[in-house]
Structure 1
């Protein structure tokens, strides 16, 4: 049977700051991120399966990505836990803000690597993550492909 790729798109609002960066992004700011998640597999062939003909139910993929990424990152601010931004992060947390501390510089490149790991861990064995595209602005995005990471 043919391998088929399916893609689901998501959007979320997230703030971040790039400590040590030499441009405007060193300041706390936010983006309206768009995340495209593409998985690959073969459609289910058992006629008695309610998911007959599907690689994965779009609803099942949505549940995984919402729980791992969207619900966590939406309207939160991301900081590298090993920078002086930790003081700002702690202040924001004490005032009830959603703050995510990560062990990497929160660039689109590093975020897409993190997202790939989280999504791959939740996919059924018969489905593989093919690619991710994290769009930070209308004209800027980072892409992750499984074929580049074998």
Structure 2
């Protein structure tokens, strides 16, 4: 089995709805995303011969995804009142609306899905909230 790994990071704020602890309050992280690709065989033709894929394509895909969330407020849809969202937008805040609770586990699944949609043979994504704590999503 052959594999590749790349990583990217982004700074973003979030909070957890219906959570009873510090994370129910608005706070931020320097999120670190590590993505792994895996496939049994290397490509056999063209410029990607003897590669899983072009590292540059993989690197750029992950960086583009993390860039979309960088320096934003990652918000679970339905977790804030519409007037609160309107006020935040009026103040110029960048909101990244997500259809899920904004846990590291769900963000790992989110990045996994986005890479898979682009045709990458993704096998695992790790999302670190802190240098020592990460959530993992695997195929």
**Alignment-derived partner of residue 7 in structure 2:** 9
**Cα root mean square deviation, aligned:** 1.5
**Alignment-derived partner of residue 51 in structure 2:** 54
Shift of 1:85: 5.4
Q: Given the two structures, how large is their TM-score scaled by the length of structure 2? A: 0.90
Which of the residues 122, 127, 137 maps onto 1:129? 122
Q: Given the two structures, how large is their TM-score scaled by the length of structure 1? A: 0.84
Count of matched residue pairs = 138
Q: Secondary structure at the match of 2:107?
A: helix
What are the superposed Cα offsets for residues 68-106 of structure 1, whole Å, 9 maximum, x if unpaired?
x21211111111111235543332222222101112110
The runs of 4+ residues in structure 1 deviating greater than 4 Å are none
Structure 2: state its 5+ residue gaps: none
Structure 1: state its 5+ residue gaps: none
Task: Assess if the C-alpha contact under 8 Å between 2:43 and 2:49 holds in 1.
Answer: yes
Task: Assess if the C-alpha contact under 8 Å between 2:10 and 2:69 holds in 1.
Answer: yes
